Amino acid sequence: MTVGPRFGGALDQAADMFTKAYDSGMSPLEFVNKMKASNQLIMGIGHRIKSTTNPDKRVTIVKEYALQHFPANNILNFALEVEKITTKKRSTLILNVDGAIAVCFVDLLRNCGAFTQEEADEQIADGCLNGLFVLGRSIGFIGHYLDQKRLKQPLYRHPWDDISYMDDSM
């Protein structure tokens, strides 16, 4: 499995970064400046293709749903204020789908009434967002497998020479 900070792990890290900044009382500008001063990426911010003029529809759907249906949106609103600052530098430094899911999930856990803030924070710290990432990939993998069976295609196997990294002496 290749779940890490730039692939899947961005969910957990974005939730952690935005939540800690919000909980500390830091302003969005202070957060951006702190991250810049420490030469750290803000997980959940930035996209290679999507921008303020070409928004990611998935992000739009997640944001609109959360703003309309969640009891509170403190972390999402904080992230949207961060986005206003980062997009002044470059239009592609938008809240991306990982960031939107992460901050909305924190808001949902903290405000749905089923968890205390401590319990919600523990779920996030335990990696439940990366678990959701893995679940989504698993569903996709199952779909590919079922399509191959339905289309009566053999399971794809990449050429062994491209992936073999051990020589015969090992």
The residue with greater pLDDT, 152 or 113, is 113
For residues 7 and 10, give the distance between their C-alpha atoms in angstroms, rounded to a whole number: 6
What value does the mean pLDDT of the chain take?
A: 89
Residues 6+ positions from 34 with CB-CB distance below 8 Å: 21, 26
The structural domains of the chain, with segments of one domain joined by +, span 9-130
Cβ 28 vs Cβ 81: under 8 Å: yes
Question: Using 50, 70 and 90 to split pLDDT, how confident is the model at 89?
Answer: very high
Tokens of 46: 């930035």
Question: Using 50, 70 and 90 to split pLDDT, how confident is the model at 131?
Answer: confident
Percentage of residues in the chain with pLDDT exceeding 70? 87
pLDDT of residue 141: 82
Question: Using 50, 70 and 90 to split pLDDT, how confident is the model at 140?
Answer: confident
Please tell me the CATH code under which domain 9-130 is placed: 1.10.230.10
Question: Using 50, 70 and 90 to split pLDDT, how confident is the model at 149?
Answer: confident
What is the per-residue pLDDT across 33-71, written as a single tens digit (0 to 9) for each? 999 999 999 999 999 999 999 999 999 999 999 999 999
- Measuring CA to CA, which residue among 19, 37, 47 is closest to residue 111? 19
Count of beta carbons in the 10 Å neighbourhood of residue 75: 25
Q: What is the DSSP string of 39-93?
A: T---TTB--SS--SSS--HHHHHHHHHHHHHSS--HHHHHHHHHHHHHHHH-TT-
